[in-house]
Amino acid sequence: MKNFKLITIFLILFTLIACNKKESEPKNNMNKEKSIIAKRLESFAPVKFTTDISFLTKNQKKVIELLTEAGKIADEIYWKQNTADGIAIRDSLAKLNSPEDQELLRYLKIWYGPYDAMYGETRFVGNGPKIRPKQGSFYPQDMTREEFETYVKQHPDEKADLESQYTVVVRDGEKLKAIPYHEAYPEILKIADLLEEAAKFADNATLKTYLELRAKALRTDKYFESDMAWMDIKNNDIDVVIGPIENYTDAMFNYKTAYEAVVMVKDKEASKQLDIFKKNIDYFEHHLPYNKKYIRKTAGSGNILQVANVYYFGGDCNGGTKTIAASLPNDPRVHAKKGGKKSMYKNIMEAKFDKIVLPIAKQIMADDLIPYCSKNSFTSFVTLHEVSHTLGRGYVFGKDNLSIRKALQERFSAIEELKADILSMYNHKHLLDLKLIDQDEMKRTIATFIPGLYRSIRFGAEEAHGKANVIQLNFLMDKGAIKFDDKGKLTYDPAIFMDKVAELAGLVLTIEAEGNYDAAGKLLDDYGHVSESTKKIIEELANVPRDLDNQ
């Protein structure tokens, strides 16, 4: 523990010095750095997400207010988890008034730290490691993967705590020690208090129960009961995601979960349109393109699909590239009993289509396909992406105590995002077969899918969603399903496109069902690298924002 604190203090002091450079230091390098940041800021379209809450009751508005206050604390916890020195740099820059320093501050806030995932997780401000440590702040900064694995093997009685999704690992002399989140981050108790306060104003009984159980979960790091209660929320205009949720920030093992908060207001009319997907979830499961022995009897009977507008967005979901939808809870035990809840963030999806997807399509797609790039197809694809997270196995076949997340370790996030993406495309074939969409809609889906690949690749090839899209693009190009026309614009071969989609879907589903860590590595090695032609296209898209800047 002492070593961990000393390292953190050292990094903070170093950062403060870096952010308050003396006038005598050379200015050329500094000016060059700031001009780079100014250019990078242009990659993020400023957006202020708005949500109409005028129709909510007085009590509902109070619930929204308290949940937003709790969300801001979760946001601050994520700052701590993401990097060791992000907060120190942020607070130092906040005291400086020059335009250059304010640009740096804005860019730092986009990434929740001094590392840019769109440029290989490289540091853009302050002193410290040039590349973001894969362990974030979940483990000692000087700890290697090999050290952790060796220690766990030598201390099997500590394995569960050290590998837990809800502990921070620190040094305790020569030992590694796991500290539960609710002890490592004392402010969690304030979040719990706010949730209990919000529960007092909740007119809806199911929301009230959930908020009370979530508060209890935050204080104990035991989330199953509250996750089950979250699936039971009914007939309410408000929903919330808050707590340690996703594993992307722990790039070393994908064990540790990062804090985030999404306060949302449901769009009931738009949600009704999702019934078509909900009714066919088990059909999708039973027709997955891989060995039938792996197919489950059901994907879960209680799957919920909803469209909502985001009122508050903080933490992991807001870091860098903004989340446009979520399939939660991540606990496979909940999936087995109740399925999952798929939330589509309407105001964020629409902003991304207008500012990013459509402009990309206009630049890179064949002329005859551009008119088919559709906002509705984009939201439909995202919806089926989230549905597809529920499909396939949650545990390794024949090993009901080994989750796929644990089996694939740091390779899981990219593989799982790949599965959800390619199955979303594949499941449109079933919608066509069932006559729920027509050939024109299928063409719109494909014409929107291809520029969508480049949208995600531009997140950075090391980011899970970005890598998943690199694999899809490379695989489908390698097989001739996506190709260039005579003018050098992107098109596809309708004769083989869906067959090759099914081939890739079967490959990734099998990797997950078998928990095959080596096969996952081979797929990532074979197809997970950005080609020269893709690099060229990305350079040509420099005038199109890469993502949104939530202001």
Residue 462 is predicted with a pLDDT of 67
Cis omega (within 30 of 0) on the bond before 329?
yes
CA dihedral (109, 111, 115, 119) in degrees, to 10, reads -130
Partners of residue 169 on adjacent β-strands:
178
pLDDT tens figures, 48-89: 999 999 999 999 999 999 999 999 999 999 999 999 999 999
Radius of gyration of the chain (CA): 23
Cβ proximity of 140 and 4 under 8 Å: yes
pLDDT at 21: 42
pLDDT bracket for residue 461 (50, 70, 90):
low
pLDDT at 347 over 50: yes
Give per-residue pLDDT as tens, 106-126.
Answer: 999 999 999 999 899 999 999
- Distance CA(49)–CA(66), nearest Å, equals 19
239-293 pLDDT, tens digit per residue, is: 999 999 999 999 999 999 999 999 999 998 887 778 888 889 999 999 999 999 9
Sign of CA dihedral 435, 437, 440, 442: negative
In angstroms, the Cα distances linking 84 to 207, 250, 484 are 36, 13, 44
Q: Which residue has the higher pLDDT, 9 or 515?
A: 515
Q: What percent of the chain has pLDDT above 90?
A: 83
- Please give the Cα distance from 133 to 533 (Å, whole number): 30
Cβ-proximal residues to 396 (8 Å cutoff; 6+ apart), any chain: 402, 403, 404, 407, 513, 514, 515
Residue listed under structure tokens 């304010």: 102
Distance between CA atoms of 168 and 184, rounded to whole angstroms? Answer: 7
> What's the chain's length in residues?
551
Predicted local distance difference test score (pLDDT) of residue 314 = 97
How many CB atoms neighbour CB 467 within 10 A?
26
Give, in words, the CATH class of 46-84+181-348. Answer: alpha beta
Q: With 90 as the cut, is the pLDDT of residue 301 above it?
A: no
Ordered DSSP codes for 156-177: GGGHHHHH-TTEEEEEETTEEE
Query: Contacts from 213-221 at CB under 8 Å and sequence distance 24+?
Result: 214/242, 214/243, 215/191, 216/192, 217/243, 218/182, 218/188, 218/189, 218/191, 218/192, 218/243, 219/182, 219/188, 219/189, 219/192, 220/182, 221/164, 221/166, 221/167, 221/180, 221/181, 221/182
Q: How far apart are CA 281 and CA 294, in angstroms?
A: 16
State mean pLDDT over 136-152. 98
Q: Please give the pLDDT value at position 466.
A: 85
Check pLDDT > 70 for residue 18: no
What are the beta bridge partners of residue 479? none
Q: Are 102 and 92 in contact (CB under 8 A)?
A: no
Distance of alpha carbon 31 from alpha carbon 25, whole angstroms: 12
Helix locations, 94-223, DSSP H: 99-111, 145-154, 159-163, 181-184, 188-201, 205-220
Predicted confidence at residue 275, as pLDDT, reads: 81
In which residue are the tokens 């296209």 written? 537
Q: Say how far apart CA 551 and CA 546 lie, in whole Å.
A: 16
Above 60 in pLDDT, residue 19? Answer: no
User: Which CA distances in Å does 545 have to 40, 240, 283, 455, 489?
Assistant: 10, 28, 38, 9, 20
Tally Cβ neighbours within 10 Å of residue 69. 16
Residue pLDDT, tens place only, 474-497? 999 999 999 999 999 999 999 999
Instruction: Single out the residue of 329, 342, 463 nearest to residue 394, CA to CA.
Output: 329
Q: Mean pLDDT across the chain, nearest whole number?
A: 91
Residue ranges matching CATH 3.30.540.30 in the chain:
46-84+181-348
pTM over 0.85: no
- DSSP β-bridge partners for residue 306: 343
CA distance linking residue 420 with residue 423, whole number of Å: 5
Across 201-229, average pLDDT = 98
* Pairing relationship of beta strands 341-345 and 325-328 according to DSSP bridges: antiparallel
Q: Which residue has the tokens 């500094």?
A: 30
